Amino acid sequence: SQQGEEDPQALSIQEGENATMNCSYKTSINNLQWYRQNSGRGLVHLILIRSNEREKHSGRLRVTLDTSKKSSSLLITASRAADTASYFCATSSRGTYKYIFGTGTRLKVLA
Amino acid sequence: DVKVTQSSRYLVKRTGEKVFLECVQDMDHENMFWYRQDPGLGLRLIYFSYDVKMKEKGDIPEGYSVSREKKERFSLILESASTNQTSMYLCASSRPGQGVTQYFGPGTRLTVL
């Protein structure tokens, strides 16, 4: 089963609105990352949050982490058409090199 | 600017053929990864290499092998391609350690007929 499960699977919003995506995971983690994938391309790293952090910002991105609920959320503020992509969370646990990716949220921003 | 390149964007092969997917990174990264991506399943790790000639199996290594003869190059080999290996294949590299960014190539969409 997937360690990371994103919710919703698909999201469609108007340009200028905020987009929120959630990620849930099952085991204890060392850190959690969010990646973006434009259609048919490779993934691009967006932001990393460590297990001892609760919130992190990068430009229009805000990530929160709640280790008690084993969940994270990614907020994109003032969305743009160029934000249209799939977004994945990836978790890493202590003592392992592996990142476990979720199934992704497909975001569509309408101009 | 960091760069991971993959030898082909699209590839069509026949069942039973031997297939080589090449990945090259120019960042002097120790770690390299091969994933496959399928709808509804996300990314699944096939193989991982943490040094030249070193490799470890990921979650779905069956039907695949890898080669890492040089630090910058990591090859994925399908010894005898099958239709269920039709997928998007993504290569990534990173520095060693935890909490590090993985840098991805553009992907190879492989179709096995």
DSSP string, chain B: ---EEES-SEEEE-TT--EEEEEEESS--SEEEEEEEETTTEEEEEEEEEETTEEEE-S--TTEEEEEEETTEEEEEESS--GGG-EEEEEEEE-SSSS---EE---EEEEE-
Cα gap B30→A104, rounded to integer Å: 27
Q: What is the pLDDT of residue A1?
A: 33
Q: What is the pLDDT along chain A (111 residues), one digit of tens a residue?
A: 335 678 888 999 999 999 999 999 988 899 999 999 998 888 999 999 999 999 999 999 999 999 999 999 999 999 999 999 999 999 988 877 788 898 899 999 999
Q: What is the pLDDT of residue A97?
A: 76
| Identity at A39, one-letter amino acid code | S
Q: What is the pLDDT of residue B20?
A: 97
Q: What is the pLDDT of residue A27?
A: 87
Q: CB–CB of B104 and A44 under 8 A? A: yes
pLDDT, greater one: B97 or B64: B64
| Identity at B59, one-letter amino acid code | D
Tens of pLDDT along B24-79? 999 999 999 999 999 888 899 999 999 998 999 999 999 999 999 999 999 999 99
A59 near B CB under 8 A: no
Q: What is the pLDDT of residue A33?
A: 95
Query: Which of A42, A45, A99 lies at the smallest CB-CB distance from B105?
Result: A42
Q: CB–CB of B101 and A4 under 8 A? A: no
Overall average pLDDT of the B69-98 stretch: 95
Q: What is the pLDDT of residue A5?
A: 77
Q: What is the pLDDT of residue A62?
A: 98
Distance from CA of B89 to the nearest CA of A (A): 9
Overall average pLDDT of the B68-97 stretch: 96
Q: Tokens 């990716």 map to which residue?
A: A101
